[in-house]
A and B are shown apart, each in its own frame.
Chain A
Amino acid sequence: MSIDPHAHTPPIERRSSHESGEVTPPPHASAFSTRAIDPGRIECLQILDEHGNVEQGMDPGFTDEQLLDVHRAMVLSRAFDSRMLTMQRQGEMGTFAPNIGQEACMIGQVWPLTKDDWFAPSYRSFGAQIWRGWSMERLMKLWAGYHEGFVPPPDVNDYPFSIVIGAQVPPAVGTAMAMRRRKEANCVVVNFGDGAFSQGAVAESLNFAAVDNAPVIFVCENNGWAISTPLTKQTRVESLAIRGMGYGVPSIRVDGNDILAMMVATRDAADRARNGEGPTLIEAVTYRMSLHTTADDPTVYRDEALVDPWQDRCPIRRFEAWLKRRGLLDGAACDRIKADCEAQVLAARDAFRESAEAKPREIFDYLYVDTTVTLERQKAEYFKRLDRKGVE
């Protein structure tokens, strides 16, 4: 492996202002092979350009069905996002973290996973969670402050999302270490943000994965911001993928708003993992187009003009342009899919409203497999309080 990081830094336009927090997407890949990940250097991958064109010879050859599935998943993620914002404003939700503009990262990173693979998400990952089989109703409960929202559905091998930045990463690597020992041809995808990459836990995890040759895919969603902190204050490297190299983890920088590139990169990383070739780091370059969370006011710290160029890089619009050119979609079909997704989200909202139930008597449950005497005594005391208050 070559170790001069600069020799392998993808050519990135210099940022106009050091503090601006602008992230330039990776340029169009000049060469593309069927294997996107080269352990010796950091490749930079874009397949679908901003106008929805795929250069001759770059088409990864996904089936129509695969393409339409991921398209719908991206549209659904966005429909869920905007409904959640509405519900939050109407007081039905607690704090919520939107991920508008990051749908290609979301869906691309979990697209090649099977039911026997695992996914360890951070909190901004609902699009991916829905793809993995978490019902929207369950996710709504989670953001609305009901405990059951954190419980993985019975047929889903995933961790509940992590609120604590970076805390999901070491267990994800551990699960991959167990897979290798159990001789399973599976893998784990763990995602985290550009801010999370500053956590010691993430650094330690990369090292463990490398040393153990664990079948894990690290997806760093570099959206340029950690609340008010722009990437330029978070790090002095231009590409976070460089950090993987330092640990001996093959790394790739991907245009995170290009669903085809995300699918190819994750597929290849998953193939490597399943073949015993170990971990991969994918830096998905994208942008946080909206609020950090509904408790945040970005106008305090960022010039909204920074967001404008990203409107043109919208992962959904650019994918649709290409699908239309291929004759897979037309305007009417896009409208229909959007309406379907919105209806699906509304149905989930109705189911959420029907079934959401605060269960104050459950707070002592599930703490231990075998409960304790002390806990039972406190529970009795607590139940007396609930009785006095007339709470069911």
Chain B
Amino acid sequence: MAQLTMVEALNKALDEALREDERVCLMGQDIGVNGGVFRVTKDLQSTHGTDRVMDTPLAECGIIGTAVGMAVHGMRPVAEIQFSGFTMQAFDQIEQNMARLHNRTQGRYTVSMVMRTPFGGGIRAVEHHSESREAYWVHTPGLKCVIPSGPRNARALLRAAIECDDPVIFYEPKAVYRAFREEVPDTPETIELGQAEVFRTGSDVTLVTYGAMVRPVKEAAEDLADEHGIDAECIDLLTVSPMDTDTVTESVRRTGRCIIVHEGHRTCGVGAEVAARVTEDAFEHLVAPVRRITGFDVPFPYFQVEQHALPEADDIIEAVRDAMTWD
């Protein structure tokens, strides 16, 4: 067991995949000698060579489009887009080919590839470096979208994503990249895609979240228990598409209350989907309205003010207390 950061854990998963499966290859901007701007691919090129760990030209549409072609012809590319803000340049290839070729060819071709990209705020970055646009991928039929929250599940989920026969968007919460270390086992492990994790059990309210927001949710849950005698159940979705509705609704049937927390914009965000499913599947158990604590429907604010626009534990505590007294 080693104590790893999320960056190191992802590096480990990639290294293992490259060693175990000769079909796996990595591609992206500055991922070779530089090891990626966040160092997720550190030393992988010197270990595995330039054909398996490729520095590409500065063209996201080209990266994803060619990765699709490699996947169709039997390889398992893991493409890195330097920041999720620059996946927009690749939207064409994601939508037209990555998500659809399997369907267009009625299963004749598979697109077994992963697009990794860091997302989210909290690192005092310039514009276009802090967005959370997972809703685009959730909204696109044919894609899976996975969002780890810590070093250990990042390593296990990335392994599962690479093994997955369908195209996976692997969205990495960069605020967590080096935020803390965690025990990561030496032997490989996977987490099944599409499986949420209940990381705290409770009986009063269900808090649903993922990615970097897991930490403020955890903090809020502890505070609610210590200061207010409120027992929150906390769910980390881990895969936002396909969404593990059953784990969420099963919990809400017991607690009667549901609050969703994410950084991404509210309108048509993941929280909207969770709320709709809870209303459809657990309506008769609800004792308070489902609430969303999310990023607002504005461009991600400049970094001098970003901290105010990101959900915090206090926002969650306030919403939970409202829900407890709702009638």
**A-side interface size class:** 35 or more
**In the complex, B33 has a CB within 8 A of chain A:** yes
**In the complex, A145 has a CB within 8 A of chain B:** yes
Q: Are A163 and B89 in contact (CB under 8 A)?
A: no
Among candidates A198, A374, A382, A386, residue contacting B58 with C-beta atoms closer than 8 Å: A198
The residue in chain A whose Cβ has the minimal distance to the Cβ of B296 is: A378
Q: Are A378 and B297 in contact (CB under 8 A)?
A: yes
Q: Are A145 and B128 in contact (CB under 8 A)?
A: no
Q: Are B308 and A195 in contact (CB under 8 A)?
A: no
**In the complex, B34 has a CB within 8 A of chain A:** yes
A286-308 contact mask (Cβ, 8 Å, vs B): 1 or 0:
00000000011000110000000
Q: Are B267 and A227 in contact (CB under 8 A)?
A: no
Q: Are B297 and A375 in contact (CB under 8 A)?
A: yes
User: In the complex, what residues of B have CB within 8 A of residue A385's CB?
Assistant: 308, 315
Q: Are B314 and A226 in contact (CB under 8 A)?
A: no
Chain A: minimal CB distance from B226 (Å) = 20
Q: Are A295 and B89 in contact (CB under 8 A)?
A: no
Could you tell me the distance between the alpha carbons of A97 and B30 in the complex, rounded to whole angstroms? 17
Chain B: minimal CB distance from A386 (Å) = 6
Q: Are B267 and A374 in contact (CB under 8 A)?
A: yes
Q: Are B58 and A94 in contact (CB under 8 A)?
A: no
Q: Are A146 and B58 in contact (CB under 8 A)?
A: no
Chain A: minimal CB distance from B314 (Å) = 7
Chain A: minimal CB distance from B12 (Å) = 20
Q: Are A363 and B305 in contact (CB under 8 A)?
A: yes
Q: Are B126 and A94 in contact (CB under 8 A)?
A: yes
Among candidates A145, A378, A379, A386, residue contacting B303 with C-beta atoms closer than 8 Å: A145
**In the complex, B246 has a CB within 8 A of chain A:** no
User: In the complex, what residues of B have CB within 8 A of residue A195's CB?
Assistant: 57-58
> Interface residue count for B (Cβ, 8 Å)?
39
A337-379 contact mask (Cβ, 8 Å, vs B): 1 or 0:
0000000000000000000001110111001000000110011
Given A145-B304, A226-B58, A375-B297, does the pair A363, B125 have CB atoms closer than 8 Å? no
Chain B: minimal CB distance from A363 (Å) = 4
Q: Are B37 and A227 in contact (CB under 8 A)?
A: yes
Given A374-B267, A378-B266, A385-B308, does the pair A229, B29 have CB atoms closer than 8 Å? yes
Could you tell me the distance between the alpha carbons of A358 and B299 in the complex, rounded to whole angstroms? 16
User: In the complex, what residues of A have CB within 8 A of residue B314's CB?
Assistant: 388-389
Q: Are B58 and A229 in contact (CB under 8 A)?
A: yes
Tell me the residues in window 241-278 of chain B with beta carbons closer than 8 Å to chain A beta carbons. Answer: 266-267
**In the complex, A164 has a CB within 8 A of chain B:** yes
User: In the complex, what residues of A have CB within 8 A of residue B125's CB?
Assistant: 94-95
Given A227-B30, A228-B30, A229-B30, does the pair A374, B302 have CB atoms closer than 8 Å? no
User: In the complex, what residues of A have CB within 8 A of residue B127's CB?
Assistant: 150, 163
Q: Are B35 and A146 in contact (CB under 8 A)?
A: no
User: In the complex, what residues of B have CB within 8 A of residue A198's CB?
Assistant: 57-59, 62
The residue in chain B whose Cβ has the minimal distance to the Cβ of A296 is: B37
Given A199-B59, A200-B89, A374-B267, does the pair A358, B304 have CB atoms closer than 8 Å? yes
Tell me the residues in window 102-122 of chain A with beta carbons closer than 8 Å to chain B beta carbons. Answer: none
Q: Are B59 and A200 in contact (CB under 8 A)?
A: yes
Could you tell me the distance between the alpha carbons of A227 and B29 in the complex, rounded to whole angstroms? 9
**In the complex, A144 has a CB within 8 A of chain B:** yes
Could you tell me the distance between the alpha carbons of A139 and B273 in the complex, rounded to whole angstroms? 41
Could you tell me the distance between the alpha carbons of A121 and B75 in the complex, rounded to whole angstroms? 39
Q: Are A165 and B58 in contact (CB under 8 A)?
A: yes
Chain A: minimal CB distance from B95 (Å) = 15
Given A163-B126, A374-B297, does the pair A199, B58 have CB atoms closer than 8 Å? yes
What 9 additional pairs, Cβ within 8 angstroms, besides A163-B127, A163-B128, A359-B305?
A94-B303, A164-B88, A198-B62, A200-B61, A201-B89, A227-B29, A228-B55, A363-B298, A385-B308
B residues with a Cβ closer than 8 A to A are 29-30, 32-35, 37, 55, 57-59, 61-62, 85-86, 88-89, 124-129, 266-267, 296-299, 301-305, 308-309, 314-315, 318
A residues with a Cβ closer than 8 A to B are 94-95, 123, 143-147, 150, 163-165, 195-196, 198-201, 226-229, 233-235, 295-296, 300-301, 358-360, 362-364, 367, 374-375, 378-379, 382, 385-386, 388-389, 391
9 closest A-B pairs by beta carbon, nearest first, are A228-B34, A145-B303, A195-B58, A198-B57, A358-B304, A360-B305, A145-B304, A301-B33, A198-B58
Give 7 A-B contacts (CB < 8 Å), ordered by A residue: A95-B125, A146-B302, A198-B58, A198-B62, A201-B89, A360-B309, A379-B296
